Structure 1
Amino acid sequence: MQYLSRFNVFIEKWMPLVTPSCLFIGVIFAAWLGRFAPLVPWLFAFMTFAGSLSSGFRDMKKIAMHPISLIVVLLILHIVVPVTAFLVGSLIFDDPLLVTGIVLEFIVPTGIVSLVWVNIYHGNSALTLSIILIDTLVAPFLVPFSLHVLMGSAVEISVAGMMKDLVLMIAVPALLAMALNHATRGRVKHTLSPKLAPFSKIGLILVVIINSTKVAPFFSQMTPALLLVTLVIFLLAVSGFFWGFLASKIFKEDNDGRVSMIFNSGMRNISAGAVIAGQYFPPEVMFPVMIGTLFQQILAAMAGFCLDRLASRERVVEKVS
């Protein structure tokens, strides 16, 4: 168990390099690894369950303590950035499948891994848990609805099928984990959760690797259009962190709240988007989604560095004044 704990710490520390490396492994060994695609939904359900064990129904009460911040982050996640992604994608690209991939990348819920970054930089974990909890539970309904509203006339979307799969992959595992947390009065957070954490990281690695096999042809035949897609995804990803920072300034959040708003606004559950793309769309949709794995964790690390510098500067100003 000690080795698994060390492995978990190692993966968390080197996450900015792990996920891009997994993408390249999937691309290189696509012919052999592609056969494991049916395992992805089950791996993702396990990841959701393991990641939700730290949340309980009592955390729902904490939402009432942070309603403004919660609502603002959800608006950024599901209106501001997705609409921007749709407008930018439609303006630059003629291919509706590429636009769908760009939109899908930015309508999936906030990433559960954002809690790791929030804890590293001493953010408001109660606020982050509330955002993750609500966003995870509404995702099965919000993601298909948003896709239908933004892309319904351009691509064929199986809303009912997508909703069913998202319920099974996200909502059910999350509710089961929360129920277990409640039944054990939170003890599971300190007993089972640490034991499952390394296996959850292994699941993340496998999901990224397996999903990457579907974009292998695009990497072997990279075109100027796909390079432009990569740039667009990068800039939109940066904008998520920026909107979170701007909102925290407007609503005068303290440093804890600012950290949570920035990471939750900027980080996405890319694995969920990749699973949806793989299940319901052609490979062209998968490319914009998976390319985000190249820099999401790196952007998170850069955001953390900037937050540290900003907090240090503010402490100096406070001492002087």
Structure 2
Amino acid sequence: MKQLTALSNWMGKTFALWALISAVLGFFFPEFFAPLVKFIVPVLGLIMFGMGMTLNIDDFVTIIKRPKAVLVGLLAQFTLMPLIAYLLTVVFHLDPFIAIGVILVGCCPGGTASNVITFLAKGDVALSVSITSIATVLAPLLTPLLLKLFAGQLIDIDLASMMLTITKIVILPIVLGIVVHRLLGKKSEAVSSVLPLVSVVGIVVIVAAIIAASKATIVDSGALVFVVVALHNLLGFTLGYLIARACGFTERQRRAIMIEVGMQNSGLGAALAATYFNPVAGLPSAIFSVWHNFSGAIVANICARRDNS
């Protein structure tokens, strides 16, 4: 078990590398990986169950203790990222399906990777977990509504159906994970220790499938999509930090909010794209999944060096 835990931890720390490798494999072997698109939704559900296994009631109690920081993080998450995404699609005149994909990523909540990056950046991890958890709970309502607002002119959005889908693939698995965690007690620690491995393998499958299904689009406009995704992420980091500083938060809180705003649950974006639109619309999510872990690692390294200087 110790060896499996060690492997899981190592895979979690080197996630960006595996995401990059999966993207390359998906591009060069599309005939093998493209059929995996049909597994994106159940794979994401498994990842969300893992997230639930790491949570407990105390994580949500944090909101009561520090409502201002959590509220600012949530507002920045669900206003800045969708707006930045929309503006980028206008500025770069993106293809409609690509534009939908970019906006979709912007409308998603933060992902669990942000908690790891916040830890490495020596930020406020408790605040990061609180924002991620509440943003995920709000996603069934806010993600479809924001997508309707910013991308409704591009394609018809079935709000009720999308809300139900997000509830099924995000909220229910998380709730189940929390219940299992509570029932197992300390025994759940053994399961939780291998969850990074499950999450990495799951995201790797999603990235490879989306890249494989979108190969033709990547050849035509992959570089442009990468530039847009990178700008989206970096602007999120920058504005998230500046807003947190303007609110007078501590440096550790600023870092947590910065990372929460800049990093999205790209797995959810890919799952919704595959379910409601076109695999091509999932391309920004796949690229975001690879890129934000590299950029997040760089941000964490800069923060750590700043503390040591």
Shorter-chain TM-score: which interval? over 0.9
What is the TM-score of this pair, normalised by structure 1?
Answer: 0.89
Residues of 2 paired with 1:147 and 1:124: CA distance?
30
Report whether the alignment pairs 1:211 with 2:210.
yes
Aligned match of 2:199: 200
Instruction: State the AA in 2 paired with 1:222.
Output: D
Report whether the alignment pairs 1:4 with 2:4.
yes
Deviations 1:114-133 (A, max 9, x none): 11122233322221121111
Q: Cα distance, 1:94 vs. partner? A: 5.6
Residues of 1 paired with 2:56 and 2:229: CA distance?
34
Q: How many aligned positions are there?
A: 309
Q: Cα distance, 1:189 vs. partner? A: 5.2
Q: Cα distance, 1:275 vs. partner? A: 1.0
Residues of 2 paired with 1:312 and 1:248: CA distance?
22
Aligned match of 1:318: none
Q: Does structure 2 conserve the Cα–Cα contact (< 8 Å) formed by 1:57 and 1:182?
A: no
Map residues 262-281 of structure 1 onto 2, 5 A cutoff: 262-281=258-277
Bigger-Rg structure (1/2): 1
Residues of 2 paired with 1:245 and 1:23: CA distance?
30
Question: How well do the aligned residues superpose, as a CA RMSD in angstroms?
Answer: 1.9
**Divergent runs of 4+, >4 A:** none
User: 1:106 is paired with a residue of what secondary structure?
Assistant: helix
What is the TM-score of this pair, normalised by structure 2?
Answer: 0.92
Instruction: State the AA in 2 paired with 1:55.
Output: L
Aligned match of 1:309: 305
Indicate the percent of aligned positions where both proteins have the same amino acid. 23
Q: Cα distance, 1:79 vs. partner? A: 0.7
Residues of 2 paired with 1:188 and 1:150: CA distance?
45
Q: Does structure 1 conserve the Cα–Cα contact (< 8 Å) formed by 2:12 and 2:196?
A: no
Report whether the alignment pairs 1:130 with 2:126.
no
User: 2:110 is paired with a residue of what secondary structure?
Assistant: coil
Report whether the alignment pairs 1:252 with 2:245.
no
User: 2:192 is paired with a residue of what secondary structure?
Assistant: helix
Deviations 1:14-45 (A, max 9, x none): 22222122112112221122223222211111
Farther-moved stretch of structure 1 (246-255 vs 101-110): 246-255
Residues of 2 paired with 1:256 and 1:53: CA distance?
25
Q: Does structure 1 conserve the Cα–Cα contact (< 8 Å) formed by 2:210 and 2:279?
A: no
Q: Cα distance, 1:171 vs. partner? A: 0.4
Aligned match of 1:222: 220
Q: Cα distance, 1:177 vs. partner? A: 1.7
Map residues 34-49 of structure 1 onto 2, 5 A cutoff: 34-49=34-49
Deviations 1:133-192 (A, max 9, x none): 1111111121111111111122122222222221111000111222333445x5355232
Instruction: State the AA in 2 paired with 1:57.
Output: I
Map residues 1-321 of structure 1 onto 2, 5 A cutoff: 1-93=1-93, 95-184=95-184, 187=186, 190-219=189-218, 221-223=219-221, 226-313=222-309
- C-alpha spacing 1:196/1:101, structure 2 compared with 1 (3 Å): closer
> Can you give the 5+ residue segments of structure 1 that lack an aligned partner in the other structure?
314-321
Q: Does structure 1 conserve the Cα–Cα contact (< 8 Å) formed by 2:121 and 2:300?
A: yes
User: 2:109 is paired with a residue of what secondary structure?
Assistant: coil
User: 2:220 is paired with a residue of what secondary structure?
Assistant: coil
